Structures are given as structure tokens and as C-alpha cells.
């Protein structure tokens, strides 16, 4: 029998944390959890910060097996369209994606996430599409299902790569701006600048 190659050992090492996350019983009826993902903790906290305005939302958004409507309102206010002031409904699964991303990096829930973009009104999105080749015409930002962010204690490329492996939706890192994008659309990634 030949010893395993270095590449095989590295692949096994890279996948072992994911295998550990999927072991054990999974409650079939946990709210807000797609059926093929590992369960998240019963209490979920997120700390969002908008650097340009100085606004901060430090909330426990999920507990007692439900999303807290007041916490979600604070999140929605912080993630509002900054050009128009319009507040849109934010998909709670987007917060779960962000929470899970921080958890997988080993960071505590108190880690500050610097939001650069959240909900977008149709007018704001149309302006971005006209001026920015990276902006999508049918963006998930329009539905409150996407956010762009930075986590100062982690390199953006690493965040983007981890997010891509999570199977929670779309994910990409944008080197030109240094932000990571996640959304609750189909599992995918795309070429960025």
C-alpha cells in the first residue's frame, strides 16, 4: 500500500472541519435552515457597522427558535439604501449566511462586520449598473438578499473563498474595492475585478 499523496492529505485536512459540522443529529424543523446545511446555534448574534455613517447594529437576531422582528428591523435600517434612505426587507437567511461565515472562520459573534452595501432601490441599482461594470441588473440587493462587506480582522480573499464553499448562495470577493459579496440566491460565484 502506498502512502497518501500530499495533495490527498491536504484535501482531507481541508474537508475535515466541514465533516465535523455535519455530524450529529439535525433538527428537521429548524426555522430558517435549508435542509442540507448544518444546524446553526439556537442563539445568533450579529454586529454590523456602517463606516460612513458610524451606525452600528449589535443584535441577537435569532433565539427561541425564531427570528426577532425588532432585531431584524434594526438590521434593515442599517442595511437601507444609502442613496434614497429607503428601508427594504432583509432576508433573515442572509444574516444566517454571515453568522455561519464568521463561525467557520473561528471568529466570535461579537466580530464587527463593516457593511458597504445592503438593500438597493431600483433607481440606485440602475445607476450602479450604468456606472459600474461589476453591478448586476437583476441584483439580489434589490430583494434584500445580498450584502457587501469587509471584516477588518480577516483578509477579503480568504473570506470570499470560505463563503464560496458554504453552499448558502452566491459569493465573490472584489479585489478592486476589497469587499466580499454574499447573497441568498443560487449557489454560484463569478469573475470579479
Residue 31 DSSP SS3 = coil
Residue 30: CA atoms inside 13 Å, Cβ hemisphere, count? Answer: 18
Could you count the other beta carbons within 10 Å of the beta carbon of residue 63? 14
24-45 pLDDT per residue, tens: 333 333 444 455 788 999 999 9
Question: Which helix (H) or strand (E) is 116 found in, with range?
Answer: strand 112-117
Place of cell 453591478: 135
Question: Which helix (H) or strand (E) is 123 found in, with range?
Answer: helix 122-131
The grid cell for 52 is: 460612513
Residue 162 pLDDT exceeds 50: yes
117-154 pLDDT per residue, tens: 999 999 998 988 888 776 777 889 999 999 999 999 99
pLDDT of residue 90: 98
Distant-in-sequence contacts of 21-29, Cβ < 8 A, 24+ apart: 21/104
Amino acid at each position: 500500500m502506498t502512502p497518501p499523496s500530499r495533495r490527498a492529505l491536504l484535501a482531507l485536512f481541508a474537508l475535515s472541519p466541514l465533516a465535523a459540522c455535519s455530524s450529529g443529529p439535525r433538527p428537521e424543523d429548524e426555522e430558517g435552515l435549508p435542509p442540507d446545511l448544518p444546524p446553526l446555534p439556537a442563539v445568533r448574534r450579529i454586529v454590523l457597522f456602517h463606516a460612513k455613517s458610524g451606525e452600528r447594529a449589535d443584535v441577537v437576531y435569532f433565539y427561541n427558535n425564531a427570528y426577532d422582528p425588532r432585531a431584524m428591523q434594526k438590521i434593515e435600517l442599517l442595511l437601507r439604501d444609502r442613496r434614497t434612505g429607503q428601508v427594504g426587507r432583509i432576508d433573515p437567511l442572509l444574516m444566517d449566511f454571515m453568522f455561519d461565515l464568521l463561525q467557520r472562520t473561528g471568529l466570535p459573534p461579537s466580530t464587527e462586520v463593516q457593511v458597504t452595501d445592503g438593500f438597493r432601490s431600483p433607481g440606485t441599482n440602475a445607476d450602479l449598473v450604468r456606472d459600474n461594470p461589476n453591478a448586476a441588473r437583476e441584483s439580489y440587493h434589490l430583494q434584500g438578499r445580498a450584502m457587501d462587506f469587509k471584516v477588518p480582522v480577516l483578509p477579503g480573499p480568504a473570506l470570499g473563498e470560505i463563503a464560496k464553499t458554504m453552499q448558502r448562495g452566491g459569493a465573490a470577493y472584489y479585489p478592486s474595492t476589497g469587499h466580499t459579496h454574499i447573497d441568498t440566491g443560487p449557489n454560484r460565484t463569478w469573475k470579479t475585478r
